[in-house]
Amino acid sequence: MNNEFSLTFHGVRGSYPVPGEATRRYGGNTSSLLFEIAGQVVIFDAGTGIIQAGRWLDGRLRSGQAVHVFLTHLHSDHIMGLPFFAPLFNPEVTVVVHCPESGGAESQRALEALFIPPYSPITLRGIKARLDFQPLAASKEVSTLELENGVEVAHIMHDSHPRQGVFILRIACGRRRVVYATDVESPGGFDPVVGGFIAGADLLVHDSQYFERDYFSATDPRAGFGHSTVAMAANNALRSGVKRLFLFHFDPRYSDAMLEEMLTQARQIFPASALAREGERIDIK
């Protein structure tokens, strides 16, 4: 059996893409994670990073293969790469977009709008893949979806992110688990249900948008914006007993050098911390 379980970060920045000198080391694209597990391809979020993920997959997908794209929420930094995702233009594959139900049928319509004028010249007829939309139930209880080859994706809603909340996602195969908690804010730590959802993961990818000094700034505080500080991320990793933490969804105004300062702070709380870096592939053993 194919024992592969890998994660590749294709976009790690928050809010909007920031290409340029100051973001060259960790990358300027917005949220997108590619998982290749036991022959199953799963993507979390469709920020501009999904464009690179699509190029990597182009030519590698088998005829009839399904690519599952799970969206944590519909903020533009998590969906804006979708119209440029190469597998959508491959007639041999199926792309299943799992969209948050928080807006009801509106979610699917909102996503479809990305492909039609005036936002795009393509129109839905231009999509050659079989495209399915599957709703993700907005619930604070854990829901689990079984994909092929023993891969499971679970989700739970967290309401700290304005306005319709966000889904925390967990992907598992056998004993190996990765949790993706982006666009979350938890000044007092996660509640026990979310804590249990994360507990014991091999890898936790956690929102780390702000330094404490910016979050608590006297002149321009970021509390209530729906994002975490580096300390919140590190403390959540510590409390939930995960093996490794990857800081993620960095403020677009922060340079690479500032992220490295952030990492030093995280390691003082949780030593097994790292910065998510665009293009980095991690094999989970």
Task: Please report, as ranges, the residues that interact with Zn ion according to CB under 5 A.
Answer: 14, 75, 77, 183
Q: How far is the CB of 101 from Zn ion (least distance, A)?
A: 17
Q: How far is the CB of 72 from Zn ion (least distance, A)?
A: 8
Nearer to Zn ion, 173 or 262 (CB): 262
Nearer to Zn ion, 77 or 185 (CB): 77
Which ranges of the chain would DSSP assign to H, the alpha helix?
Answer: 49-57, 106-112, 192-198, 212-215, 230-240, 256-269
* Residue 139 near residue 127 (C-beta atoms within 8 A): no
Mode of pairing for the β-strands spanning 281-283 and 5-11: antiparallel
Tokens representing 273 are: 């911390």
Nearer to Zn ion, 101 or 183 (CB): 183
Return the H-helix or E-strand segment holding 100. strand 94-100
Q: Which residue is nearest to Zn ion (CB)?
A: 75
Cβ atoms < 10 Å from Cβ of 267:
15
Q: How far is the CB of 45 from Zn ion (least distance, A)?
A: 8
* Residue 32 near residue 53 (C-beta atoms within 8 A): yes
Nearer to Zn ion, 162 or 195 (CB): 162
Cβ atoms < 10 Å from Cβ of 236:
26
Q: How far is the CB of 226 from Zn ion (least distance, A)?
A: 6
Q: How far is the CB of 264 from Zn ion (least distance, A)?
A: 24
Nearer to Zn ion, 122 or 162 (CB): 162
